[in-house]
Amino acid sequence: MSSAFRRGLSLYDQCEAGRILISVGADDVKILRSTDAPKRAIGTRHLNGCSCVVISGNAVLLAHIQPLPGKAQDWAETTLEQRRTSSIAHHNDLLSRVTELLQRHNSEFPASTTTWAILANDPDGTLNDIVQLFRNFLSTKGYELKQAHYEQANVRGFPPKPKGELVVLRGKNEGIYLEHRLLEGAKATAPVPSSSRAIATFSGSSARPKQSLHNDDSDKRNDNSGDENERKGNEVDPDTSTSQDWHGYQVRTTSQGTSALGCNILGRSLELPVSWSRGNALPLVWIQNRWTQTEASAGDRILLVRDLRGSLVRLEKITS
C-alpha cells in the first residue's frame, strides 16, 4: 500500500479502481461480509467534520455521520442549542440503523469485535457529547470504544478540499486505515474466551459442552477415559486438561481454560480455537486470523466455514 501512496494514489482510490470497495456515502451505513467477495474493502471519504463508527468483527460495519442533517446553510439562522439538540437526534437516528444491521448480522460480530469512533480533531472539546453518545451506544452492546482523529481542511480555502478518508481492508494488507495511517492491523493471536457462552447444538437440543470441560475433577476422569483412543493417528496436540465429544467433534479445554475444536481441513488434522456467541447455536472458530462463524451442512452435521473468497470449506470430524 505504501507504494500506492508514493504514487499519489490513495488507498480509497486504489480499492475503488480495483473494484474491491464498498463505498459508504454521507449519512449512510453499510456492511462488508466475507460473502461479498470479490469486495474486500469498505470505506468513505471527504469526512471533513463528519464522524464515523467502525465495528470490525468477522464482518465490518461502517457508518458515516454528518454533524447535522441537510445542508449547512439550512442551519445558518439557528442557535447553538438548536444545533446541538438536532445533532444529537441526527446521530441517534443513524445509530438506530447501525443497531438494525447489527441485529440482522449478529453472528458476524463475536466477542473479539473491535469498535472505533473516527472524528475530526477537536482541541476545544466541542465533540465531547458525540464521543459520549458513541461510547454509551457501543457499551450497551458490550463493546469498548477506541478513538482516532483526522485534520480538517481549511473550508475557506479555494478551492475547498474536504479531508478525511477511511478504509477497512480485509485479506492482503488487512487493517483499518485513516488517511495513510494504520489504526489496527490483522490480529495475530486468538483471544479465546475461557468458556462457551451459549447453547451449542445442530439439532436444537441443549447440548452445551458440560461445565466439567473446565472444573469438575470427577467428570474429568470419566471424560478422559476414551480420549487417547480418539486422538490416535492424527496430528492434534494430545496435551489436554479435559476433553468432550460435541456432535462427533472433540472439544478440549487447555490448562489455561481456552477451548479448541479438533477437525480435518483438506486432509490435515488441526485444532481451532472455538467459542459460542450469544444467541447462536453453532460455534465460532479462529481461522485465517479472525473469528469466523460456522455453518451447518445439510444432512451430515458437518461444520462449514467460508474462506476469504466466500467459498465453503468443510471441517471434517476426526475419526480414529
Report pLDDT for 208. 35
R_g over Cα of the chain: 23
Beta bridge partners of 315: 303
Q: What pLDDT does 225 receive?
A: 37
Which amino acid makes up residue 263?
C
Report H helices in the chain.
2-6, 11-17, 80-104, 128-139, 217-223, 227-231
- Decide the pairing of beta strands 21-23 and 41-44: parallel
* Confidence (pLDDT) at 8: 63
Helix crossing, 80-104 with 128-139: angle to 10°? 20
Give the Cα-Cα-Cα angle 55, 59, 60 (nearest 5 degrees): 40
3-state class of 261 per DSSP? Answer: strand
**Domains of the chain, with CATH numbers?**
11-182 (3.30.1330), 243-317 (no CATH)
CB 198 within 8 A of CB 276: yes
Taking the chain (320 residues) in runs of 10, the rounded mean pLDDT of each run is 56 92 96 92 92 95 92 73 89 95 91 90 83 93 90 60 83 87 64 32 33 33 37 34 81 76 88 78 81 79 80 85
Calpha distance 50→42 (Å, rounded) = 17
Residue 191 preceded by cis peptide, ω within 30: no
Could you tell me which residues are beta bridge partners of residue 295?
304
